[in-house]
Homo-oligomer: A and B are copies of this chain.
Amino acid sequence: MISEKEINIFEDYLLTKNLKHSEQRNEILYIFLKHDKHLTANELYRIVQGKYPAIGYATIYRTLKLLCACGLCRELKFEDGTSRYEHLFNHQHHDHLICTKCGRFVEVVDPQIEALQEKLIKKHGFHPERHRMELYGVCKRCKR
């Protein structure tokens, strides 16, 4: 399920930045790619630990930085302060709809909203770059 393309993106990034390969980086990259979820640094750390107990916390953070820098992932900061790392490859832009009871969340996009957001930014004389939208509510399961 891991796409060769994602690995190439990482490889190319190392190359262009004159960075080196390492087993740790590989291990973290593969584990990150295998888990197509929004993991926290800590969750990733624990999974990596399972296979590679010697790996340090700092290396997780360092590699997550690389993954973000090369465009494979991005850091999401939620309201409660937790940071989660989200896959970017083959995932077009989206926002999040989050259940306030159970924390479950869904990726959502609405082209109309997207268009209006850009319009709103321009109306205030800004040059649009990006946005962040989180919708909160109670999900079907928690509603009853």
Q: A residues bordering B, Cβ < 8 Å? A: 77, 79, 81, 97, 99-100, 106, 108, 110, 112-113, 116-117, 120-121, 124-140, 143
Q: Are A126 and B99 in contact (CB under 8 A)?
A: yes
Q: Is the CB of A108 within 8 A of B131?
A: no
The CA-CA distance from A126 to B117 in the complex, in Å, is: 22
A108 to B120, Cβ gap below 8 A? yes
A140 to B121, CA, bound (A): 11
A125–B108 Cα distance when bound, in Å, is 13
15 A-B contacts, Cβ less than 8 Å apart? Answer: A77-B79, A97-B120, A97-B124, A106-B124, A110-B116, A113-B113, A113-B117, A121-B135, A125-B140, A126-B139, A127-B143, A129-B136, A131-B133, A131-B135, A133-B134
> Copy number of this protein in the oligomer?
2
Distance between Cα atoms of A132 and B77 in the complex (Å): 12
- On whether the beta carbons of A136 and B143 are closer than 8 Å, the reply is no
Known contacts A108-B124, A112-B116, A113-B113, A137 near B132 by CB under 8 Å: no
Q: Nearest CB to that of A99 among chain B residues?
A: B126
Residues in B neighbouring A138, C-beta threshold 8 A: 126-127, 129
Q: Say how far A5's CB is from chain B's closest CB, in angstroms.
A: 28
